[in-house]
Amino acid sequence: MSKELKLKITPLKMKRDRLLLLNQILLPRVVEWVECFDAESVSDSIKKMHVRGAPAIGIAAAYGFYLGVKKIVDNGEKVTPAKLNNIKTKLDKARPTAVNLSWATSLMLESALNYIEKSSLQNKKDMNSLQLLMELYNKAVSIHEDDAVRCLQMSERGADYIVKKRSLKKYRIMTHCNAGALATGGIGTALGLIRVLQQRGLVEMVYSCETRPYLQGARLTAYELDKEKIPVTLIADSMAAVLMQKKMIDFIIVGADRITKNGDAANKIGTYSHSVNAKLHKIPFYVIAPKSTLDNSITKGDEIIIENRDSSELLEFNGVAHAAKVKVLNYSFDVTPRENIEAIFFEDEVI
């Protein structure tokens, strides 16, 4: 296991009565923290992508569930299974593609229902609402801390696999979107693996695709890597194939928002194109994600719901129009088929 990797950045901070989310829409130009006091505001921030990245969304939703129950208790209302399910539904609708969100809220709902059932079996006239809140707060914290551990485990496992499979003095790596500390509760998934390789002195250069429509690669990945003093070069999405053709890329590593039972993986739009080009140029294409991203209820990728987001994300940037006002198709994700993926790195195994 690598020595502790200390990060200079975190996507969220939880206080007892509020969740602070680093507004990733404004980074790196402006550092702003958005305060969320209830499930509604957390759901809204997830929808607006103040917080993004599948694991981070799940963590935020867990804290949002706690805040939703806290609001019920603070209002002097009775906590019921119906109200708990309403909180979960509200949060789950914020981003339908990332399975970590519903996974986290399911754990929170289960914890709350178990506490209510336990109180009922003990024939308690009044359930201890403060104790319930403490249970839910601790559960959300455990989801957060658990993700940090899993990030390190999968990053170590993936780095070991790559070094053993293709030993080089140093690696030239391409990544797409942002799968770093900003997207998780720890060192990241794709960027976590890159951080481990950097710690071992094995990174020559990371090529970060800008990543449309919100430029998460340009604004966030490049920002993270530069902050950690990891060599990074920003490229346009459409430049990726040229770098592969010029033999400038040793492997591609990306995160995932949902992985189906057969191994198809959904990630930020443009990932599929990179996998096709990587296959043509015989470049290893890897996916790294926590097991919470695996959705065994879906057999293959074409069953995944793909978000078609608001046209403003392509027509404007920070409220400033930069394109003609025409029809917009804004799929935010695509699905990379299993046959284009050499390996998927989970925290406990390599597929």
Residues 295-310 have a mean pLDDT of: 93
Residues 89-95 have a mean pLDDT of: 95
Spell out the alpha helix ranges (H) of the chain: 39-47, 54-74, 81-92, 99-121, 129-165, 190-199, 216, 222-227, 240-245, 271-280, 312-315
Strand, coil or helix: 114? helix
CATH architecture of 153-345: 3-Layer(aba) Sandwich (3.40)
Q: Is residue 317 packed enough to be buried (19+ CB in 10 Å), middle (13-18) or exposed (0-12)?
A: middle
Identify the pLDDT of residue 125. 54
Compute the distance between CA of residue 271 and CA of residue 337 in angstroms, rounded to an integer: 11
pLDDT at 105 > cutoff 90: yes
CA distances to 118, 258, 264, 304 from 261, rounded to whole Å, are 34, 10, 8, 11
Sheet holding 171-175, edge to edge: 232-235, 203-209, 171-175, 251-254, 285-288, 343-345
On whether the CB atoms of residues 260 and 301 are closer than 8 A, the answer is yes
Identify the pLDDT of residue 119. 81
Identify the pLDDT of residue 250. 98
Taking residue 299's Cβ as centre, other Cβ atoms within 10 Å add up to 12
Compute the distance between CA of residue 43 and CA of residue 65 in angstroms, rounded to an integer: 10
Identify the pLDDT of residue 121. 61
| Bridge partner list, 206 | 173, 232
On whether the CB atoms of residues 235 and 277 are closer than 8 A, the answer is no
How far apart, in Å, do the first and last CA atoms of the chain sit? Answer: 20
12-147 — its CATH code?
1.20.120.420
pLDDT tens sequence across 30-44: 999 999 999 999 999
Catalytic residue status for 257: yes
Place 249 in a pLDDT band, splitting at 50, 70 and 90. Answer: very high
Tell me the two tokens of residue 313.
């994300």
Q: Do domains 12-147 and 153-345 have the same CATH topology?
A: no
Place 8 in a pLDDT band, splitting at 50, 70 and 90. Answer: confident
This prediction's pTM: 0.91
If we measure between CA atoms, which residue out of 141, 130, 138 comes closest to residue 70? 130
Q: Is the torsion defined by CA of 220, 212, 249, 335 positive or negative?
A: positive
Identify the pLDDT of residue 322. 87
Average pLDDT, the chain: 94
Residues 183-211 have a mean pLDDT of: 98
If we measure between CA atoms, which residue out of 16, 23, 22, 57 comes closest to residue 37? 16
Domain residue ranges of the chain, discontinuous segments joined by +? 12-147, 153-345
Tell me the two tokens of residue 7.
């990060």
Identify the pLDDT of residue 1. 43
Q: Is residue 329 packed enough to be buried (19+ CB in 10 Å), middle (13-18) or exposed (0-12)?
A: exposed
If we measure between CA atoms, which residue out of 7, 14, 8 comes closest to residue 36? 14
Of the candidates 38, 147, 237, 257, the residue annotated as catalytic is 257
pLDDT tens sequence across 114-149: 999 888 766 655 668 999 999 999 999 999 999 999
Compute the distance between CA of residue 69 and CA of residue 43 in angstroms, rounded to an integer: 14
